[in-house]
Amino acid sequence: MIFEHLDTYGHEQVVFCHNKDVGLKAIIAIHNTVLGPALGGTRMWPYASEQEALNDVLRLSRGMTYKNAVAGLNLGGGKAVIIGDPATDKSEGLFRAFGQFVESLGGRYITAEDVGIDVNDMEFVYRETQFVTGVHQVHGGSGDPSPFTAYGTMQGLLASLNRKFGNEDVGNYSYAVQGLGHVGIEFVKLLKERGAKVYVTDINKDRVARAVDEFGAEAVGLDEIYDVDVDVYSPCALGGTVNEKTLPRLKAKIICGAANNQLANNAIGDEVEKRGILYAPDYAVNAGGVMNISLEIDGYNRERAMRMMRTIYHNLTRIFEISERDGVPTYMAADRLAEERIETIGKLKLPL
Ligand code: NAD
């Protein structure tokens, strides 16, 4: 049953980590290491069942293979999940025991923060293994990735504007930004600096107030964000916001934002394409976070990070080219770019 699952997704290795003394139950999934060590975060979540945890880690680790490949990194895809409640089940022993399991893989898997995990937890993991990113800046960590993710999203937007309108005049277009958290607010700032008309929404009223007062955005209601007459819809909150209900309401000609898993399903991705809306694939646009932590592996440098973010422009351009070349929606073209890169680079052999 489990091996069937691994066959479906094509995983290389799945490690079940157990330490009764500290209450650790974790799964590390290494999906693909053709391009390099598998990089991907550790998520802590009170999964209802072990099967649910396994499904999640298999799905997420595969996603990291595609994300890292499209980002142009020499890294494969992996992910870990710790079964537990982040509010009540955290301890030094738990994270150190987890760190020992990461260490035991000898660098095939490099971990990072994900949902339910913070920099303090990573400090404990770091005591047991060097194969960890997202540690505190005093240990060479890269710090909050959000400004980089926002800057990377801007690169994705420039490529999208160019594709759709043949120019990159950000300030000539209007935007609906949904979610003003770490990334969203930074993105609004970048848009307003370029003179754009920006509508915003968030469930957190203070964040909306900041976007309005500090950056001059215009607030709209939580549901109204789908109806505003704008050129670009930018999901920067939750996943699944492009769905059967919202898509018919969107007037935007481009969807480009930082949120993960924006399309509710592939059929919606096809429908987006049919309606002539250009979808900038989320995992290519929001790769700034993973690019940033990838630089920790051989010594973090802010300048290199900013240069790397600019490659998102070219990655998106390439995806749009593949979409046209193969006559497929852009979400599919992004996967093809990843698969082609893994295949080509995987075959490269340096002459001795
Ligand atoms: P965040 O938690 O700081 O911000 C999310 C914001 O969305 C919050 O302000 C929240 O109030 C708001 N929100 C939640 N539900 C909403 C709703 N229904 N309508 C409007 N607003 C709503 O998260 P973040 O770090 O800014 O990340 C935003 C998205 O980008 C997430 O999907 C995340 O997975 C993705 N992402 C972030 C990074 C990064 O570097 N932080 C990297 C890659 C992807």
Answer whether 40's CB lies under 8 Å from 61's CB: yes
Known catalytic residue at 79: yes
- 338-347 long-range contacts, CB within 8 A, separation 24+: 338/65, 338/66, 338/67, 338/69, 338/70, 339/69, 341/35, 341/69, 341/70, 341/72, 342/32, 342/34, 342/35, 342/65, 342/69, 345/34, 345/35, 346/34, 346/35
Domains 2-62+76-139 and 146-341 share a fold: yes
- pLDDT confidence of residue 9: 84
- The burial class, CB within 10 Å (0-12 / 13-18 / 19+), for 131 is buried
Closest CA to 337 of 277, 281, 258: 281
What φ, ψ does residue 200 adopt, rounded to 5°?
Answer: -135, 160
C-alpha distances out from residue 169 to 109, 158, 195, 315, Å: 41, 8, 9, 20
Instruction: Give the Cα separation of 284 and 282 in Å (integer).
Output: 5
One-letter amino acid for residue 29 of the chain: A
Please report which residue ranges of the chain form alpha helices under DSSP H: 2-9, 50-70, 92-104, 119-128, 146-165, 182-193, 205-215, 266-274, 282-285, 288-294, 302-326, 330-347
How many CA atoms, within 13 angstroms, populate the side-chain half-sphere of residue 289?
20
- Name the residue with the closest Cα to ligand 1, atom 3: 181
C-alpha distances out from residue 263 to 39, 254, 271, Å: 24, 13, 10
- pLDDT confidence of residue 160: 98
Q: How far is the CA of 145 from the centre of ligand 1 (A)?
A: 13
Token pair recorded at residue 260 = 């993960």
- Name the residue with the closest Cα to ligand 1, atom 2: 181
What φ, ψ does residue 118 adopt, rounded to 5°?
Answer: -125, 180
Q: Within 10 A of 138 (CB to CB), how many other CB atoms are there?
A: 7
Task: Please state which of the four CATH numbers 2.40.50.140, 3.40.50.740, 3.40.50.300, 3.40.50.720 is assigned to the domain occupying 146-341.
Answer: 3.40.50.720
- The burial class, CB within 10 Å (0-12 / 13-18 / 19+), for 49 is exposed
Closest CA to 339 of 54, 57, 62: 62
**Residue 201, ligand 1, Cβ within 6 A:** yes
Instruction: Provide the whole-model pTM.
Output: 0.93
Catalytic residue among 20, 25, 67, 79: 79
Among 119, 151, 203, say which to mutate for ligand 1: greatest number of ligand atoms within 8 Å of CB. 203
- pLDDT confidence of residue 197: 98
**Residue 177, ligand 1, Cβ within 6 A:** no
Q: What is the pLDDT along the chain (352 residues), one digit of tens a residue?
A: 777 777 778 899 999 999 999 999 999 999 999 999 999 999 999 999 999 999 999 999 999 999 999 999 999 999 999 999 999 999 999 999 999 999 999 999 999 999 899 989 999 999 999 999 988 888 888 888 899 999 999 999 999 999 999 999 999 999 999 999 999 999 999 999 999 999 999 999 999 999 999 999 999 999 999 999 999 999 999 999 999 999 999 999 999 999 999 999 999 999 999 999 999 999 999 999 999 999 998 889 999 999 999 999 999 999 999 999 999 999 999 999 999 999 999 888 777 6
Which ligand 1 atom sits nearest the alpha carbon of residue 145? Answer: 40
Domain 2-62+76-139 fold is: Rossmann fold (3.40.50)
One-letter amino acid for residue 215 of the chain: F
Rg (CA), the chain: 20
Q: Indicate the domain borders of the chain.
A: 2-62+76-139, 146-341
Q: Is 291 helix (H, G, I), strand (E, B) or coil?
A: helix
